[in-house]
């Protein structure tokens, strides 16, 4: 499995003012060149596939205006084409949703039309991917200041500058591990950083099971391990909660409120990114936990993708205000990205599955005649199944990769009723025929469940 990672390495603080001035002028010129290509695409409505429909005179004119080398001009052209490809894909999807939208949802969509590249003009510098045509990231044995340097072409012909980097141990290990593809020069809060793209190979983990994951608004995620020819056991069910994360955020909010009342603005500045950092830390820990489980179990990961859930959360959509607020702050994109990254580093395959109808469909009988008794409890009117709603969705998500998708049924020792557990109204779940189950096994499971219930009543 090929893993692609981008690592942000800071430029060394000892960089001279002369070199900083050269980098400032170069990045400004690259942004201007990309804007010129984007302007041609918009005016002529050019095809953006491949290398575009730019003529030789067009490229020569832009090269004269910007005074950039042919390598830089080609990279700016590629950047402009990529921006317009992304815009047209997003706009086509937006038009499709607008076609079937009605009333309040249509008004919201009209305000969310994707903007064209450089819609507001060339107001800020643009990031352009640089490769071996114009720059190289090399190891340096002579320069004691830094083990890695950037050799970058300048606006002068046949002239390069050496930019020392300041990598940490994590950066060094990653740069040594893989192949450097390209990089970007990014200026953030007055400092330059090199965003380096690295590719390396990881041994694939053989797939023997599927772990379905349903991301939650109130909980981090619910996950179920599905094995071929085996029923679901208690140990296959897992819910990751955000109690510790919520506690730390509540303490931080209390601390921020105290500082605001006391008008202590200097400490407040140090805490401005603390809330985001805490959330990212716990999302990353949950992703590592899932990836380690999948690696140990030799399973692939199926992640439910709640696409457009935030766009559908608007006033007047029939949902309560608190529910709308929670959905608007639902960081599902970040959680999905972290899970995919951590799984890829361990050679675990991860796939995105659309969540459409997975929360409403019964995993036993495939019926949609269901309702939520509580937020976490799901009931099917056709077969009488009562089950944890998040686990029901996770089973439906993971069952996509099996020969017979739904009816992923559990065994006798599956968890019973409770806020976070499942319960059944009629008979216990029997294994699906694809999992090696049969009707006789279901009857046998029902008898054992009845005896267990009698024993439980006698004890109490």
For the residues of 252-272, what is the DSSP string, one character each? Answer: HHHHHHHHHHTT-HHHHHHTT
- φ, ψ (nearest 5 deg) of residue 430: -110, 150
Would you state the pLDDT for residue 258?
Answer: 93
In order along its 460 residues, the chain shows pLDDT tens digits of: 888 999 999 999 988 999 999 999 999 999 999 999 999 999 999 999 988 889 999 999 999 999 999 999 999 999 999 999 999 999 999 999 888 888 777 888 888 899 999 988 888 888 888 988 899 998 888 888 888 999 999 888 888 999 999 999 999 999 988 899 999 999 888 899 999 999 999 999 999 999 999 998 878 899 999 988 888 888 899 999 888 998 999 999 999 999 999 999 999 998 989 999 999 999 999 999 999 999 999 999 999 998 877 766 666 666 666 566 666 678 888 999 999 999 999 999 999 998 888 888 888 888 888 888 887 788 888 888 888 888 888 999 998 887 654 344 433 333 433 344 433 333 333 333 333 333 333 333 333 333 333 333 333 3
* Residues contacting 359, CB < 8 A, separation 6+: 214, 378, 389, 392, 393
Report the C-alpha gap between 7 and 447 in whole angstroms.
58
Report the C-alpha gap between 239 and 218 in whole angstroms.
11
Burial class (CB in 10 A: 0-12, 13-18, 19+), 158: exposed
Start-to-end C-alpha separation, the chain: 55
161, 163, 164, 168 alpha-carbon torsion, rounded to 10°: -150
Question: Three-state SS string across 86-114, please?
Answer: HHHHHHHHHHHHHHCCCHHHHHHHHHCCC
Report the C-alpha gap between 156 and 26 in whole angstroms.
11
301 neighbors 343 (Cβ within 8 angstroms): yes
SS3 386: strand
431 neighbors 408 (Cβ within 8 angstroms): no
- φ, ψ (nearest 5 deg) of residue 385: -70, 130
253 neighbors 270 (Cβ within 8 angstroms): no
Give, in order, the Cα–Cα distances in Å from 191 to each of 50, 205, 269, 283. 34, 40, 19, 28
Q: Where are the domains of the chain?
A: 2-201, 211-460
Would you state the pLDDT for residue 114?
Answer: 92
Q: What is the pTM of this model?
A: 0.79
* Residues contacting 214, CB < 8 A, separation 6+: 221, 222, 223, 304, 355, 358, 359, 390, 391, 393, 394, 397
For the residues of 210-238, what is the DSSP string, one character each? Answer: EEEEEE-SSSSEEEEEE-TT--B-GGGEE
Positive/negative CA dihedral, 159, 164, 167, 172: positive
Report the C-alpha gap between 380 and 424 in whole angstroms.
10
């Amino acid at each position: 499995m090929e893993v692609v990672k981008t690592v942000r390495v800071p430029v060394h603080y000892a960089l001279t003012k002369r070199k900083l001035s050269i980098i400032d002028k170069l990045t400004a010129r690259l942004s201007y060149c990309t804007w010129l290509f984007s302007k041609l695409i918009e005016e002529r409505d050019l095809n953006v596939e491949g290398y575009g429909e730019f003529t030789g005179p067009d490229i020569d004119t832009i090269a004269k205006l910007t005074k950039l080398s042919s390598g830089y001009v080609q990279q700016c052209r590629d950047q402009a084409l990529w921006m317009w490809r992304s815009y047209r894909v997003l706009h086509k999807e937006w038009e499709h949703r607008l076609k079937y939208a009605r009333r309040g949802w249509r008004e919201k969509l009209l305000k969310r039309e994707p903007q064209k590249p450089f819609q507001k003009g060339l107001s800020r510098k643009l990031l352009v991917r640089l490769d071996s045509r114009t720059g190289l990231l090399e190891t340096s044995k002579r320069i004691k200041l830094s083990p890695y340097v950037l050799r970058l072409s300048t606006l002068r012909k046949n002239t390069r500058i050496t930019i020392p980097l300041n990598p940490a141990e994590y950066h060094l290990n990653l740069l040594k591990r893989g192949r450097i593809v390209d990089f970007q020069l990014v200026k953030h809060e007055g400092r330059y950083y090199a965003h380096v793209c690295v590719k390396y190979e990881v041994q694939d983990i053989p797939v023997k099971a599927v772990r379905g994951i349903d991301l939650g608004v109130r909980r981090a995620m619910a996950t179920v391990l599905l094995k071929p020819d085996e029923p679901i056991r208690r140990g296959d069910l897992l819910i990751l909660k955000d109690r510790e994360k919520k506690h730390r955020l509540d303490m931080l909010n209390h601390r921020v409120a105290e500082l605001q009342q006391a008008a202590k603005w200097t400490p407040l500045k140090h805490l401005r990114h603390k809330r985001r950092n805490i959330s990212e830390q716990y999302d990353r820990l949950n992703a590592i936990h899932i990836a380690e489980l999948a690696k140990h179990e030799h399973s692939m990961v199926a992640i439910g993708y709640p696409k457009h859930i935030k766009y559908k959360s608007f006033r007047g959509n029939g949902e309560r205000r608190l529910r709308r607020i929670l959905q608007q702050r639902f960081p599902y994109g970040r959680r999905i990205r972290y899970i995919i990254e951590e799984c890829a580093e361990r050679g675990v395959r991860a796939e995105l599955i659309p969540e459409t109808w997975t929360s409403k469909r019964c995993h036993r009988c495939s019926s949609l005649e269901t309702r939520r008794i509580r937020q976490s409890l799901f009931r099917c009117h056709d077969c009488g199944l009562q089950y944890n709603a998040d686990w029901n969705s996770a089973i439906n998500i993971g069952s996509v990769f099996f020969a017979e998708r739904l009816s992923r049924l559990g065994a006798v020792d599956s968890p019973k009723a409770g806020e976070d557990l499942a319960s059944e109204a009629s008979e216990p779940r029997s294994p699906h025929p694809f999992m090696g189950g049969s009707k006789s096994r279901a009857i046998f499971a029902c008898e054992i469940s009845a005896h267990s219930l009698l024993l439980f009543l006698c004890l109490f």
